Structure 1
Amino acid sequence: MNRFLRTLCVLVMLAVVAPALAATDVEAVKQRVAKVDVLRGEFTQEKQVAGFKNPLRSQGRFVLAQDHGVIWTTLKPFPSEVVVTRDRILSRQSDGSSRVELDGRQQPAMRSVNAIMFALMSGDAQALSAQFTVKVEVLPGNGWKMQLTPRSAMLGKVFAQLTLSGDRYVREVQINEANQDVTRIQFAGMSDTPTTLSTDEGRRFE
């Protein structure tokens, strides 16, 4: 899996982690996390690349739709957008002037990662537990913390460990990549209404 594809997979994983919690077999966490059809929010991301002193920072917003996929929109420092469906990953500039599309039918590794992501989104606990070792800590005040460690060699080439924490929604994520890059992200302003996509959101999945 090349570096560009790995980076896209990391971005998408950050966008879909909220429903991932509802898919685990840890009842205490399952009861605390909202399971929604559409989730919108904002993110602040900091990526520490191995060998570089200063982290890369970005901000933006996301839309997660259970029946469609994820729209991950970076606003700062450079506007861009990543759209993920079951069969593809589409990266494009905000004005649509430049786009890169990866077809899951031609990228078996990418399709495998997408399958795991959609298992998280659909609540397929069997598929999730087959791929990740899960460790949960229940915290006071409706809080929780979760660590996911890949079981498969394929995922192990991308992720070393994912750490998530939150309450009704995921609030913070840390992704330790296999190449020693570390991504930290904070989510804010999340809302599960309206429960359907707008015309513009639907168009961006096309």
Structure 2
Amino acid sequence: MKYWPLLALLLSPFVGAITLDTLQQRFTEQPIVRAHFTQTRTIKDLPQPLRSQGEMLIARDQGLLWDQKVPFPMALMLDDSRMVQIINGQPPQVITAENNPQMFQFNHLLRALFQADRAVLEQNFRIDFQDMGAGRWTLKLTPITTPLDKIFTSIELAGQQYLDSIRLNDKQGDLTDIAFSQHRLTPTTLTDDERQRFAAH
């Protein structure tokens, strides 16, 4: 029986191997995820990166809430039919698939990223998924459809139990890094305020 520890050592990395399917399953089992985000945008013609931060919520059955707090308030709500953006308390801007199909396609894609929706990702990207060991993974997406291939060189995601970071490499040579922290799975249902935001406008 002395060979069992060695056998276990050899097999254990494969038992826990992560695939895109297991990642999608893991995210599907998280009905609501709330997290803090820090976004850093490096634009080649600007000397200093642009930084923003705030709170994010992704609800499997409702959509995405994006609340930027710094450097100015910006609230974004995205569901299956529309995107509503409110900047600095101004009147809401409503974007639908009818009035801005390209913008809506990109924002619809955001939900697929957060939920590791394999079907949507495979329609739009060449996929390079890597199991980094110790439960960590990376996912590199290279656009194969227009207009995404005209906007992005690649989109890179990384994480472990949750999505921890997104990097957007665009065709202009600019870079957007979004880091997520303080992930929370509770409460598992929307608060009254969150529900109202999805229902508004």
Q: TM-score, normalised by structure 1?
A: 0.78
Which deviates more from structure 2 when the two are superposed, residues 107-116 or residues 132-141?
107-116
Q: CA deviation at 1:75?
A: 0.7
2:147 is paired with a residue of what secondary structure?
helix
Q: Report the number of matched residues.
A: 182
Pick aligned residue for 1:182 from 163, 175, 184: 175
SS at match of 2:154: strand
The corresponding residue for 2:71 is 77
Partner of 2:14: none
Is 2:134 aligned against 1:141? yes
- 1:89 is matched with which residue: 64, 83, 87? 83
Aligned to 1:37, which of 28, 31, 35?
A: 31
Aligned mates of 1:142, 1:98 — CA distance in 2: 44
Alignment correspondent of 1:191: 184
Bigger Cα Rg? 2
1:9-158 matched pairs, under 5 angstroms: 26-27=20-21, 29-30=23-24, 35-93=29-87, 96-119=89-112, 124-158=117-151
How big is the shift at 1:144? Answer: 0.9
Whether contact under 8 Å (1:146, 1:163) holds in the other structure is yes
How far apart are residue 123 of structure 1 and its match? 6.3
Percent of matched pairs sharing the same residue: 29
Q: Is 1:163 aligned with 2:148?
A: no
2:5 is matched with: none
Residues 123/189 of structure 1: CA separation in 2 closer, same or farther (3 Å cut): closer
Distance 1:68-1:188 versus aligned 2 partners, 3 A rule? same
Could you say what the CA RMSD is over the residues aligned between the two structures, in angstroms? Answer: 2.4
Q: In the aligned structure 2, how far is the partner of 1:33 from the partner of 1:65?
A: 10
1:44–1:36 distance in 2 versus 1, CA, 3 Å: same
- Could you list the runs of 5+ residues in structure 2 that have no partner in the other structure? 1-17
For 1:62-81, what per-residue CA distance to the aligned partner results, in whole angstroms no more than 9, with x for missing partners?
11112211110011111111
Shift of 1:132: 0.8
CA contact (8 A) 1:81 1:93 kept: yes
TM-score (norm: length of structure 2): 0.80
> What SS class does the counterpart of residue 194 from structure 1 fall into?
coil
